[in-house]
Amino acid sequence: MKHSFIDKYSDLDSLIHRLDPRTKFIASLAFIISVVLTPTSNWRAFALHLCLVTSLLIIAKLPPFYVLKRSLVIFPFVLLVAVFIPFLKPGEIAGSYNIWLWQVSVTYAGLLILANVAVKAWLCIFSLILLSATTKLVDLLKGLKQLGIPKVIILILSFMYRYIFVLVDEAMRMRQARDSRSFGGGRLRQLKTLGNMIGTLFIRSYERGESIYAAMLCRGFGDEIRSLRQLGFKRIDASFGVAFGLVIISSAIIFW
């Protein structure tokens, strides 16, 4: 089965792809924290951040449609906030509507909160897309380990990443089998079937985990996974890091 859904586009080649995963991770985190800390309605600062992240997305040669589609994950939360807008703080009224017997009025203060939250969320998701679409998860994990994340967590995550493909395949096969044999049925029955599938998947995964450990012992596992690719912090990382940091810090100084 196809697994292109995981780190899609991370095997392209561009300046951003070639950067060290540590540089990219720290830069993304700094960008997100800087966006979250920016005070409400500081539009010029938001515009600067948007320019920065879009130019990086363009340098990374990511298809714009893919980025936009991915960024829709935040939509349910934006909707959640939008629904609450009519109930928000009193203030100058921007418009009011009659929905049935309800007099619903939208205030400027409410709209400002919505715009602010939506812009912040969009900027952050862009930088997260940039990070994950330009870095292979394996490299990112290796970088995180060198940044001080405990080795056990990194090892568990590497195993998880390895077995996601196997188990997703297994789950998809089970789904195909179910779909080709059963034709609807009541909702309760569907849930029960799903429960049985998940239960079977759990038992198989557990047994697989045990046999993996046995296999690791047989082969002399010594709490380290070795791989050929070494991370290297190059000159380009240093210059990228300095330039990126300067833009973010200057935006904070100029616009706050």
Partner 1 sequence: MHIPDGFISAPVATVGCVVAGGSVAYAVKATKKKMGEKQIPLMGVLAAFIFAAQMLNFPIAGGTSGHFVGAALAAILLGPWRGILIMTCVLVVQCLVFQDGGLFALGVNILNMGIIASFVAYHIYRGSALFGEGRKRKLIGGGLAAWFSVAIASVACAFELAISGTVPLKIALPAMAGIHALIGIGEGLITAAVLNLIMATRADLLELQKA
**Long-range contacts, 161-165 (Cβ 8 Å, 24+):** 161/137, 163/205, 163/208, 164/6, 165/3, 165/6
Q: What is the chain's alpha carbon radius of gyration, rounded to the nearest angstrom?
A: 24
Window of 52-60, 100-108, 197-205, 237-245 that interacts with partner 1 by CB under 8 A: 197-205
Q: What is the footprint of partner 1 within residues 2-21 (CB under 8 A)?
A: 6-7
At 74, list the tokens: 């935040």
User: Looking at beta carbons only, is 159 or 233 nearer to partner 1?
Assistant: 159
- Taking the least distance from each CB to partner 1, the nearer of 29 and 239 is 29
Q: Which amino acid is at 76?
A: P
109 in contact with partner 1 (CB under 8 A): no
The one among 216, 242, 243, 254 contacting partner 1 by CB under 8 A: 216
Nearer to partner 1, 75 or 239 (CB): 75
Burial of residue 123, with CB atoms counted within 10 A of its CB: 0-12 exposed, 13-18 middle, 19 or more buried = buried
| Residue 79 in the binding site for partner 1 (CB under 8 A) | no
CB 12, min distance to partner 1, A: 16
Chain CA centroid to CA 131, Å: 9
Amino acid at 255: F
Minimum distance from residue 185 beta carbon to partner 1 (Å): 11
Of 148 and 232, the one with the shorter C-beta distance to partner 1 is: 148
Rounded Cα distance between 112 and 117, Å, is 9
- Residue spans of beta strands (DSSP E) within 60-124: 93-99, 102-107
User: Which residue from 15, 51, 68, 83 is in contact with partner 1, where contact means CB under 8 A?
Assistant: 83
CA gap 107, 143 in Å, rounded: 46
Q: Which is nearer to partner 1, 45 or 131 (CB)?
A: 131
Beta carbon of residue 235, minimum distance to partner 1 (angstroms, whole number): 27
C-alpha closest to that of 44 among 244, 251, 248: 251
Work out which of 15, 199, 234, 239 binds partner 1, going by CB under 8 A: 199
Binding mask 148-187 for partner 1 (x = CB under 8 A): --x-xx-xxxxxxxxxx-xxx-xxx-xx-----------x
CA torsion sign for 55, 60, 66, 72 is negative
Binders of partner 1 among residues 114 to 153 (CB under 8 A) are 117-125, 128-129, 131-132, 137, 140, 150, 152-153
Residue nearer to partner 1 on the CB measure, 218 or 235: 218
70 binds partner 1 (CB under 8 A): yes
Query: Binding to partner 1 by residue 45, rule CB under 8 A?
Result: no
Helix (H) or strand (E) holding 34: helix 21-37
Q: Which of 63, 26, 57, 44 is nearest to 125 (CA)?
A: 57
Query: Shortest gap between Cβ of 38 and partner 1 (angstroms)?
Result: 10
